[in-house]
Structure 1
Amino acid sequence: MDLLDDSAVDQRLTGVPEWRREGDEIRRTIKAPDFPTAIRIVDEVAVEAEKLNHHPDIDIRWRTLHLALSTHDAGGLTEMDFTLAARIDAIAASHT
């Protein structure tokens, strides 16, 4: 998978406005209405991540989820990160 240059990353971020760039990662925080919903979101993200064979870093703090995406084996951001980010956005929207 090819790394995206800064211009391509900036352009793709417009399609996932809840995400922000931090170095070689994109990050998003999701606030679920309660802890069980937060865990359901993580479960659904896990299913999508497995389908893509691309796995986010997830930190669970009660009902707040912090997610980070990067294509580690490529050394930065690729199209796969933005594909999964869009799927995570759809999952979050269905629960919040």
Structure 2
Amino acid sequence: MAERLSVEARKQALKSLPGWAEMSGREAIGRTFTFKDFNEAFGFMTRAALVAEKNDHHPEWRNVYKTVEVVLATHDAGGVTALDIELAEAMDAIASQIGVA
């Protein structure tokens, strides 16, 4: 099982993840991605889903038209772990390839 990050480690990791923030009321991180249209948003989700499945670590997310809201936490660990940081980095890279900063 992945080990939950300390508050300090989580804050430090978030410094290298622009757009990501701690979620209010729970130990999780989140970000909203906004794309050009639904096709780009769904393409992002498809590519991110492949990464998540490969790592057996799945996001909580919601899609409405061109917006994808993501929440990451490792439920087994009761909070944010290195797995969440890695998935956030992968999602940022995918979004960057699509043209979203």
Distance 2:68 2:94 in 1: 13
1:16 equivalenced with 2:32 (yes/no): no
Normalising by structure 1, we get a TM-score of 0.97
Runs of at least 5 residues in structure 1 that lack an aligned partner in the other structure: none
C-alpha RMSD of the superposition: 0.7
Structure 2 residue aligned with 1:69, among 68, 72, 96?
A: 72
Report the number of matched residues.
96
Percent of aligned pairs with the same amino acid: 36
> Where in structure 1 do 4 or more consecutive aligned residues deviate above 2 Å?
none
What residue in structure 2 maps to residue 39 of structure 1?
42
User: Deviation per CA, 1:12-50, whole angstroms, max 9, x where unpaired?
Assistant: 001112100013110000001011111000000000001
What residue in structure 1 maps to residue 87 of structure 2?
84
Normalising by structure 2, we get a TM-score of 0.92
